[in-house]
């Protein structure tokens, strides 16, 4: 049993397809009686306009594409929830792609989305991406592009970022103000601006408070796997650091776990601070102080910006950059 079409309704009601089309969309030129009659019949027969046909006509399909580098991740899944909510509000569907931190797959995702003729794309760059032609192609195809969080510096387009610098700065300042003197930073490769910004926030806070900088305390360590090697070495220094600021909650949580098992008392011997404020922070012992990135809000903001661009409601000509404020959430793992 095939879906009923406009034509079927027209035939049944002895009207023309265009009248039916207009009646369905409450076109003012249609008489109330006809409109009522048509809509009643349509409802009774569960008529659904075929979006494909409409899209072919209008060359618009009310779909936006999302590319996330890693979905099994508190921040990105939270952002996706925000994107989805905002898209739903404006009746956009979400085509979901997952690059899995893989450049090749990111390129393929772009192709997929362009082939599907999405109206716009929200993207967060993978860690391994060093070429940007695929992103440039989006723009060359006149498809709107908004980067969120992991922006691509090589491409000049709208973006929504978190104030990583200020978040890191505030966190490290908090550590200093609560009496920590030897503060380590476990960061990420500086390929990503977010990583650079956080490192700079850390370094500037030390500088401001006249604490020495020690390369041995400033290390790339952004996964639990790396943490298993690096944190033991770090804590084996003598004296060991009295605070560790980590680029994400996973590393920070592992850090509290390992340090505790080594007999460190957190936060008295060692303060630990994470970044993201995921639910991990609620289940470590003690609870983890962390910098909240407001992923949901970032997703919403990015989606709203993209939709406004698509619908011509964002009037600003050049690049729009929105900044989401971070917030230091102090819990039990810092003094």
Partner DNA sequence: GTGAAAGCGCTAACAT
Partner DNA sequence: ATGTTAGCGCTTTCAC
CB of 49 or CB of 332, closer to DNA: 49
Among 11, 16, 156, 207, interactor with DNA by CB under 7 A: 16
SS3 for the chain, per residue? CCCCCHHHHHHHHCCCHHHHHHHHCCCCCCCHHHHHHHHHHHHHCCCCCCHHHHHHHHCCCCEEEEEECCCCCHHHHHHHHHHHHHHHHCCCEEEEEECCCCHHHHHHHHHHHHHCCCCEEEECCCCCCCCCHHHHHHHHCCCEEEEECCCCCCCCCEEEEECHHHHHHHHHHHHHHCCCCCEEEEECCCCCHHHHHHHHHHHHHHHHCCCCCCHHHEEECCCHHHHHHHHHHHHHCCCCCCEEEECCHHHHHHHHHHHHHCCCCCCCCCEEEEEECCCHHHHCCCCCEEEECCHHHHHHHHHHHHHHHHCCCCCCCCCCEEEECCEEECCCCCC
Among 19, 78, 290, 300, interactor with its own copies by CB under 8 A: 78
Q: Are 244 and 252 in contact (CB under 8 A)?
A: yes
Q: Are 75 and 149 in contact (CB under 8 A)?
A: yes
Among 17, 240, 286, 332, interactor with DNA by CB under 7 A: 17
Q: Looking at residues 165 to 204 of the shown chain, list those that interact with its own copies (rule: CB under 8 A).
A: none
Among 19, 61, 124, 276, interactor with its own copies by CB under 8 A: 61
Q: Contact between 114 and its own copies (CB under 8 A)?
A: yes
CB of 8 or CB of 269, closer to DNA: 8
Q: Contact between 57 and DNA (CB under 7 A)?
A: yes
Residue 289's closest CA among 245, 326, 257, 231?
245
Q: Smallest gap, in angstroms, from Cβ of residue 276 to DNA?
A: 44
Among 19, 21, 84, 289, interactor with its own copies by CB under 8 A: 84
Q: Contact between 6 and DNA (CB under 7 A)?
A: yes
**Of the ranges 20-28, 105-113, 155-163, 240-248, which one interacts with DNA (CB under 7 A)?**
20-28
Among its own copies, DNA, none, the one that 240 touches (CB under a kind-dependent 5 to 8 A) is: none
Among 11, 36, 53, 141, interactor with DNA by CB under 7 A: 53
Residue 266's closest CA among 289, 232, 248, 247?
289
Among 115, 210, 236, 318, interactor with its own copies by CB under 8 A: 115
Q: Contact between 34 and DNA (CB under 7 A)?
A: yes
Q: Contact between 287 and its own copies (CB under 8 A)?
A: yes
Among its own copies, DNA, none, the one that 30 touches (CB under a kind-dependent 5 to 8 A) is: DNA
Among 51, 154, 179, 232, interactor with its own copies by CB under 8 A: 51
Among 43, 44, 46, 58, interactor with DNA by CB under 7 A: 58
Distance of CA 205 to the CA centre of its chain: 27
Q: Contact between 21 and DNA (CB under 7 A)?
A: yes
Among DNA, its own copies, none, the one that 213 touches (CB under a kind-dependent 5 to 8 A) is: none
Burial per residue of 202-216, b for 16 or more beta-carbon CB atoms within 10 angstroms, e otherwise: bbebbeeeebeeeee
Per CB under 7 A, residues contacting DNA are 2-3, 5-7, 14-19, 21-22, 24-25, 28-31, 33-34, 47-50, 53-54, 56-59
What residues line the site for its own copies (CB under 8 A)? Answer: 1, 3, 48-53, 55-56, 59, 61, 63, 66, 71-74, 77-78, 80-81, 84-85, 88, 93-98, 100, 108, 112, 114-117, 141-142, 224, 250, 253-254, 256-257, 260-261, 279-280, 282-287
């Amino acid at each position: 049993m095939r879906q009923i079409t406009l034509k079927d309704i027209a035939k049944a009601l002895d009207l023309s397809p265009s009248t039916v089309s207009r009646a369905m969309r409450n076109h003012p030129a249609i008489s109330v009686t006809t409109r009522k009659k048509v809509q009643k019949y349509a409802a009774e027969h569960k008529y659904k306009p075929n979006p494909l046909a409409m899209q072919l006509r209008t060359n618009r399909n009310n779909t936006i594409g999302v590319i996330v580098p890693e979905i099994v991740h508190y921040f990105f899944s939270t952002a996706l929830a925000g994107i989805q909510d905002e898209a739903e509000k404006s009746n956009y569907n979400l085509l979901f792609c997952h690059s899995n931190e893989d450049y090749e797959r990111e390129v393929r995702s772009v192709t997929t989305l362009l082939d599907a003729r999405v109206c716009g794309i929200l993207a967060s760059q993978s860690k391994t991406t060093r070429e940007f032609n695929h992103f440039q192609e989006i723009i060359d195809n006149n498809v709107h592009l908004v980067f969120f969080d992991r922006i691509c510096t090589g491409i000049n387009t709208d973006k929504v970022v978190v104030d990583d610098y200020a978040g890191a700065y505030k966190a490290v300042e908090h550590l200093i103000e609560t009496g920590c003197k030897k503060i380590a930073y476990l960061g990420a490769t500086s390929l990503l601006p977010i990583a650079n910004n956080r490192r700079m926030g850390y370094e500037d806070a030390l500088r401001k408070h006249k604490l020495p900088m020690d390369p041995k305390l400033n290390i790339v360590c952004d996964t639990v796997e790396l943490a298993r090697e690096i944190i033991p070495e770090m804590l084996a220094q003598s004296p060991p650091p009295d605070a560790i600021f980590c680029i994400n909650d996973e590393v920070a949580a592992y850090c509290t776990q390992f340090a505790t098992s080594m007999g460190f008392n957190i936060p008295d011997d060692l303060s630990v601070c994470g970044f993201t404020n995921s639910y991990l922070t609620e289940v470590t012992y003690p609870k983890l102080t962390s910098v909240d990135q407001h992923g949901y809000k970032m997703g919403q903001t990015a989606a709203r910006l993209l939709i406004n661009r698509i619908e011509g409601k964002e009037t600003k000509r050049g690049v729009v950059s929105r900044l989401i404020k971070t917030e230091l959430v102090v819990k039990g793992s810092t003094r």
